[in-house]
Structure 1
Amino acid sequence: MKSTMQDVELSVVDILEHGAGSFGDSKVFTLLENGVQETTFSAVAENCSRLGTSLASLGVGVDDTVGTLAWNTREHLECYLTIPSLGAVLHTLNPRFSADDLTWCINDAGTSVIIVDDMLLATLVKSIEHTPGVRAVIHYANGEPGEHTGAQLEAIAAAGINVLHYQDLINNSAPASVWVRVPERSAAALCYTSGTTGRPKGVVYSHRSIWLHSLMNTSAAQFGLSRQDTILPAVPMFHVMGWNLIFSAFMVGSNLVLTNRFNQAIRLLEAITALKPTFGAGVPTIWSDVAYTYDSGSDNAYDISSLQRISSGGAVVPEALIMWWQNRHHVAILHGCGMTETSSTMTSGIPPLGFEFGTLSPYQRTQGQFVIGIQSRIVDAEGNFLPKDGRAAGELQLRGPWVASGYLHGHSDAMTADGWLPTGDIASISPNGYLTYTDRIKDIIKSGGEWISSVALEAHLAGHPGVREAAVIAVDDEKWQERPAAIIVPSGETPSIQSLKDYVSAAFPKFWLPDHWIFVEALPRTSVGKYDKKLLRDNFRAQSTG
């Protein structure tokens, strides 16, 4: 028996048209160097239509790849909605990649047109001479022109590339007469992994996967987004599609606060005070910096009372940070996790019935519960399945409708024989589906035949009153193979090593105690805001041998 339901393809076109038609008066706020730019969904949609006409006139069509090298701005939002609605592929370029990796990504993706924020022209110029497939660059102003903006544009033109101004195209183009609807499993967007082990790898999202994941974001089982919300995505739009929150907002009419390049704590606090977001999203270091800066300011300097909930993932959220937000400011922390290959979030930080956000429940010590659509399993080093008992730990493997089945051009294609994604994470899963990370396979500390979790040590150390941030790495040891080294950013006066040792000893076995304690003013971050442990390990080795 066949169903009697209509078979309608899912498309980003529907998200754009629904947001503009049903929620045309919803607001988009963009932080600027001085002040805030305000526009509406209907005005964004009008610009999208004119941008679509402009791109089509440049020969952009189905399956063409259009790159964006941009911060979180209105123009980038318009690219998000326009490019897939032409049947083309949005390629979000990461400005924090090295020039070599950025060049490689542009060429690997076959990117033919690049839309660039003037603030990032210097980054593009380093690559443009080595990207023969790029035929046009469209730039837009983001603040006052820099001293070298003109010379940078001339350098791009000198490479034989057509240079156009974004706003001129918008002003001089008629609205698109019709959008292009492609099959829902067609490519809509492309994002490259951060490439900490070899070249970045391209993950291609379909219209279907974006639709389903963005809809999940709006669900009460995930973020509970609605017309009543104002969303503050403190996550870069060039990383994992900004967690698809742009599309989620257009689905349900939530206002948007785009942070531009201003993810510093003071600018975020000013934005929260002025624009009253109800929901925020970002890695733990973002919200830790906000908490620290809030406490460092004068009384009543900032008002964060509008925030109701924050989703944080990408690393373990320290218990002390959860309690700061929940106990002191009544903001629910939704502890989740995800990766480029899972379209970002794959777990929900909502605890079971009977547990309140005002207290630190055992469930908030986990990375959340797998949402509907995500299938999970853990395996040992030999590939044997391990029980979901909350104790057995093995490599996490996943599959689902918004989980990657491979990489662009098959680069480093490492799916299992039966089609599951190996994540490279060591984790346990409880009987009711809550995930707890032990560590990344590459970060776990192997000492004398035992495993030491850098993640657990970091989360615990962050609760010490003298610690603002902590990273733990494995360092070589002749006797034990590897031992932990703790790199500490003090909170005020530097704590004594003995107090740190006592604090760790009270919670972990003696052999977990770090052998090395290093105090620094700041920890290096990766392009997505995580601690750069590769660089920390390299620095430690250099200092040890120097």
Structure 2
Amino acid sequence: MTATTTPLLGQMMDVPLLVSSLIAHAARHHGNAQIVSRRIEGDVHRYTYRECEVRSKQLAQALIALGVEPGERIGTLAWNGYRHLEAYFGVTGFGAVCHTINPRLFPEQIAWIVNHADDRYILFDITFAALVDALAPQCPQVRGWIALCDESHRPAMRTPVLCYETLLAAQNGEFDWPLLDERSASNLCYTSGTTGNPKGALYTHRSAVLHAYGASLPDAMGLSARDAMLPVVPMFHVNAWGLPHAGPLNGTKLVLPGKDLDGKSLYELMEAEGVTCSAGVPTVWLGLLAYMREAGVKFSTLKRTVIGGSACPPAMLRTYEDDYGVQVIHAWGMTEMSPLGTLAKLNWEQAQRPPEAQRALLEKQGRVIFGVDMKIVGDDGRELPWDGVAFGDLYVRGPWIIDRYFRQESGTPLVDGWFPTGDVATIDPDGFLHITDRSKDVIKSGGEWISSIELENIAVAHPAIAEAACIACAHPRWTERPLIVAVKKPGAQVTREELLAFFEGKVVKWWLPDDAVFVDELPHTATGKLQKLKLREQFRHHVLPSALEVGDKCPLEPLDSDKGAASGATANTKSAATRG
């Protein structure tokens, strides 16, 4: 046989995978499906995918008229609403890049992100008018700021602004989406930036469409045209986990909650619109659970929700399923992964196991969906077995995972083609991922690792505890030992000794926390994740009782990993927390 260097090519249409094709499909084949938004103006707005595409085209025309070129970045500072959804398609549809910005970050961080992204225009909800006034002088390269409102709601501001509805009214919507290179940039999202400046993940049209397909799989979010989806996860955070793309792909009714994400507002909107599925971070679902308990209400249509962003406490998962009939789908991902990686759903064989065995799997982060591969490696870089016991650094790869950060063209974070996530995990023989910690949060006691997440889950299972974090404290004998920092439920009573006793018999003895303190609230990042760096700064001089028992009578030096980051901190444990 003679080798050939010319492959036999298939004879299929070369149709590019474009974000604009998602809204075009929804408008053509699910044109009457609804998009419902609770507006900043206070009312509820309702229209269809067909109308959404026309207005998205008007936005594209308006931006072109303003001189925006393909490849330029257009920022958004907005809640989940129909105008923000139009930006997802109107900006990307003609080749510009939709850059969603987290308004919960510090203004200095937002200004840094806007300047780093080199945003040309910023679309903003009028609730952020004061923020825009603060940002504008720091962002001289921004050509204009566009208020997402009509003229009657234009806010009084120092910054000259354009009016979104006026810009759209000047266009007719008769616009053909251009055929772009599917590998051209479509969306830009930045990481939370809890340790240093945020980093940008620049997605492509191809990766966004493939991710929308992956998210729609039955063993992922399982969206369909029969669903009404309410994404609680903000559209400014990792493209709302791809739901604004997956919704149109499936013709799913979208219910967009706007700025009011408290338990009462979410529950009432879900009931009014017949919401069948949702998605968000654990802190939101804790608030919703507290409201329903207090009000004595239950869901009439909600059947499932995806919870990610940080580990879902097993106690909350069980409460939603046992008391409210809502299937909780535990998920894991990252901004660098667009973000979906794994979801916890059982296959046929696993569904035949005893209920407690099923629960043990569902409390993990789940199996990868097609498009993602993963492995765990040890300190020596060798891949570890999938036995559910060995844990190491988690690596991933796939077509919607970045190969480098935006504007860091000279270097790549990849290791032999794999992206190091910064998570520490196990993978069991079923292929279920279990995140045991972030690599920077893992507690190494006497040379052995302790999972802070597992200890947090036990703490939250205590009936008096609303939220808890576990951090490492310096120890003269063991180097590090676990400290529980907990928030009590309103009106609940529990002592330090009672909380520590609650751990007994639930973990091996050397995992038992050495101390527990109570605080009024825990620090969170702008995306709702526990901000353990701040906790480590706050408790850097905390002295564990077990440290005193071995003769160390003075405050310990801060852990090496926190030196520098915590330099200059003036933590006062007594004023920040109580022991009983």
Query: 2:17 is matched with which residue?
Result: 10
Q: Secondary structure at the match of 1:209?
A: helix
Query: 1:96 is matched with which residue?
Result: 104
Q: CA offset at residue 213 of structure 1? A: 0.6
Q: 1:386–1:296: structure 2 CA closer, same or farther, 3 Å change rule?
A: same
2:467–2:488: 8 Å Cα contact kept in structure 1? yes
What is the rounded CA distance, in whole Å, between the counterparts of 2:495 and 2:146 in structure 1?
Answer: 54
Q: TM-score, normalised by structure 1?
A: 0.93
Q: TM-score, normalised by structure 2?
A: 0.88
Write the letter of the residue equivalent to 2:126. Answer: D
Q: 1:523–1:544: structure 2 CA closer, same or farther, 3 Å change rule?
A: closer
The 5 A counterparts of 1:179-328 are: 179-297=177-295, 299=296, 302-328=297-323
Q: Secondary structure at the match of 1:396?
A: strand
Q: 1:361–1:303: structure 2 CA closer, same or farther, 3 Å change rule?
A: closer
Q: Secondary structure at the match of 1:232?
A: strand
The 5 A counterparts of 1:74-473 are: 74-141=82-149, 149-150=155-156, 152=157, 154=158, 156-157=159-160, 163-297=161-295, 299=296, 302-356=297-351, 360-410=358-408, 413-473=411-471
Write the letter of the residue equivalent to 1:334. Answer: I
Query: 2:516 is matched with which residue?
Result: 517
Q: CA offset at residue 176 of structure 1? A: 4.1
Deviations 1:470-526 (A, max 9, x none): 111122233332222212122241223233222211211233222332223332221
* 1:66 aligns to 2:74 (yes or no): yes
Query: 2:53 is matched with which residue?
Result: 45
Write the letter of the residue equivalent to 1:325. Answer: Y
What is the rounded CA distance, in whole Å, between the counterparts of 2:316 and 2:151 in structure 1?
Answer: 34
What is the rounded CA distance, in whole Å, between the counterparts of 1:305 and 1:460 in structure 2?
Answer: 30
Q: Percent identity?
A: 36
1:355–1:361: 8 Å Cα contact kept in structure 2? no
1:426–1:439: 8 Å Cα contact kept in structure 2? yes
What is the rounded CA distance, in whole Å, between the counterparts of 1:251 and 1:425 in structure 2?
Answer: 31
Q: Secondary structure at the match of 2:407?
A: helix
Deviations 1:248-296 (A, max 9, x none): 1111111111111111111111112211211110112211221122111
Q: CA offset at residue 142 of structure 1? A: 9.4
Q: Secondary structure at the match of 1:138?
A: strand
2:150–2:164: 8 Å Cα contact kept in structure 1? no
Q: 1:143–1:97: structure 2 CA closer, same or farther, 3 Å change rule?
A: farther
What is the rounded CA distance, in whole Å, between the counterparts of 1:528 and 1:502 in structure 2?
Answer: 32
Runs of 4 or more above 4 Å deviation: 142-146, 354-360, 411-414
* 1:532 aligns to 2:531 (yes or no): yes
Q: CA offset at residue 120 of structure 1? A: 0.9
Q: 1:411–1:315: structure 2 CA closer, same or farther, 3 Å change rule?
A: farther
Q: CA offset at residue 52 of structure 1? A: 1.2
Query: 1:24 is matched with which residue?
Result: 31
What is the rounded CA distance, in whole Å, between the counterparts of 2:511 and 2:410 in structure 1?
Answer: 34
Write the letter of the residue equivalent to 1:21. Answer: R
Q: Secondary structure at the match of 1:462?
A: helix
What is the rounded CA distance, in whole Å, between the counterparts of 2:208 and 2:337 in structure 1?
Answer: 11
Write the letter of the residue equivalent to 2:572. Answer: Q
What is the rounded CA distance, in whole Å, between the counterparts of 1:120 and 1:479 in structure 2?
Answer: 51
What is the rounded CA distance, in whole Å, between the counterparts of 2:359 and 2:484 in structure 1?
Answer: 27
1:429–1:435: 8 Å Cα contact kept in structure 2? yes
Query: 1:160 is matched with which residue?
Result: none
What is the rounded CA distance, in whole Å, between the counterparts of 1:524 and 1:141 in structure 2?
Answer: 33
What is the rounded CA distance, in whole Å, between the counterparts of 1:229 and 1:450 in structure 2?
Answer: 46
Deviations 1:432-477 (A, max 9, x none): 3210111001111122222111100111211111112111112223
Q: CA offset at residue 43 of structure 1? A: 1.7
Q: CA offset at residue 536 of structure 1? A: 1.9
What is the rounded CA distance, in whole Å, between the counterparts of 1:513 and 1:189 in structure 2?
Answer: 44
Q: CA offset at residue 132 of structure 1? A: 2.3
Between 395-404 and 512-521, the greater mean CA deviation after superposition:
512-521
Deviations 1:359-398 (A, max 9, x none): 6522112101011111111111231221122211110001
What is the rounded CA distance, in whole Å, between the counterparts of 2:105 and 2:535 in structure 1?
Answer: 18
Write the letter of the residue equivalent to 1:339. Answer: M
Q: 1:264–1:356: structure 2 CA closer, same or farther, 3 Å change rule?
A: farther
Q: Which one of 476, 479, 482 corresponds to residue 478 of structure 1?
A: 476
RMSD: 2.1
What is the rounded CA distance, in whole Å, between the counterparts of 1:20 and 1:494 in structure 2?
Answer: 55
Q: 1:202–1:47: structure 2 CA closer, same or farther, 3 Å change rule?
A: same
What is the rounded CA distance, in whole Å, between the counterparts of 1:35 and 1:296 in structure 2?
Answer: 26
What is the rounded CA distance, in whole Å, between the counterparts of 1:143 and 1:56 in structure 2?
Answer: 21
What is the rounded CA distance, in whole Å, between the counterparts of 1:429 and 1:223 in structure 2?
Answer: 21
Q: CA offset at residue 354 of structure 1? A: 4.5
What is the rounded CA distance, in whole Å, between the counterparts of 2:269 and 2:206 in structure 1?
Answer: 33
What is the rounded CA distance, in whole Å, between the counterparts of 1:234 and 1:425 in structure 2?
Answer: 25
Query: 2:551 is matched with which residue?
Result: none
Q: CA offset at residue 223 of structure 1? A: 1.5
What is the rounded CA distance, in whole Å, between the counterparts of 2:255 and 2:351 in structure 1?
Answer: 28
Between 37-46 and 62-71, the greater mean CA deviation after superposition:
37-46
Write the letter of the residue equivalent to 1:389. Answer: D
What is the rounded CA distance, in whole Å, between the counterparts of 1:177 and 1:82 in structure 2?
Answer: 11
